Structure 1
């Protein structure tokens, strides 16, 4: 008997579209079940958008397509963990499509990123490079991570993985989150209202929180003053978590030992921003935990299979919370 069921129409848009196209075509989900459109140009994507039932790709590429999508759109799969560009656009819709993101693959990447910078700080990597350029023998002893205290602002899948790696490296780990973590994950847990108490105990602070009304400007001047003198701030969550000028002031006054910033309120960071000239500040250009297509596609395909079977999707975003 002939199957008259129409294939599911999926529009894919991304900065890394060729990789996604190759991986999805290699997976062969079935042309009779899924019809992919790979939006190579804005015009092509906009033309297909009214027919799309599923959008898959980078949130900043998906956002301008929403005005072209019709009532057929039922599900959006982000290729990133962050979905901040999409949440405000979907919150006002009476029948908003499901929104899912990527989770579970960024913990190892974030751990690599964090400890690259923390080890460089302890071992004086930049200072030794500068000494080398001056042909100066630099035999100053470096520090060690062992026995230091790492504070984690955010204990989702990323923070949980980082905590395990940190403890293996001999650090004491403190965590701050809305809900209690698994037993034994951290040495001490603080709820959000106790964040300031945690700050005074940490040598390093890693922030991986999403952007919500509650987290914006959470690390302002008074909060930064609670940190230990010489502590190192690492922000790899969202740029609006910190008060930019307060961080600049803390570094110039040498209250912070250093800051590593991966995310910013405006990206790319404007050339006129004071961060570029702030001593002790390192900029990593939103590269901490990138979405690699080979890791993202299996998550999408699993959700696609679940969607076709009428099952609950993994990693659904709560539009009210924003994550």
Structure 2
């Protein structure tokens, strides 16, 4: 199987390359980058030196897509919309977009968080690929929109509660590492500003709210339902730790653990933990580790989710969704043994 990764020089692109270069069903990989064209891939991603001696290609997205079985678009937000048309014209077997461009089908909801959509006619071609929920439903899809990192954690916390009548607006408090800010230096990702520090951002309007609200409305059947993501930047490099707090009926709260175990039964990359999960236990893997607790006297529930923002929240979920869409082993290339401690 032949694969192209368009925009492969960033952190997500590097993790995606690490996965596809070791995938048992992938025989050929092309990595493109406008800024790194002609340079060895291992210069941008030193950890890949043992996997490839190839160089970044300076091909356009359309050129890279021609003759490929799968094309991954690992571009900054807004860039996928500019090139998706030429990628589709090249007729690859499957397109997987890792940016936010095609995740939100409701164009009014999209506009609220991102502004007017630059390619609205292409939105309906993409299937939202929350792999651990959609599973086999993704089989046969020809274009996938991989979820965002915070959105993945938030939706995995919400999904098992979709039919138990959550009272009010569920609160989702999440903390992410500095790698979520991308490879290009920013004041808030600079080490002196990030180390020994914790701060909120995207207050009452984080962009991943759009995906979370879209899913929550679909799952509950309530067109005005909402959920609130409270995003924070933490003093570490990789991972997301998210805690959901909500109120449901006391009876449902008493069995919340069973609700989650049932919802994710048979899902290979969701692990139900017996205690609050630790972030380092998920970093470097495609796992989402979850612990759910309910108080039968008040109806309160607290759900904790930890995952790696660059793998489960980006490249790993994209590969998992590719496997499902193509009818491959869902776990192919993703049984990752992470270092510990890290």
Given the two structures, how large is their TM-score scaled by the length of structure 1? 0.35
Q: Which has the larger radius of gyration?
A: 1
Given the two structures, how large is their TM-score scaled by the length of structure 2? 0.33
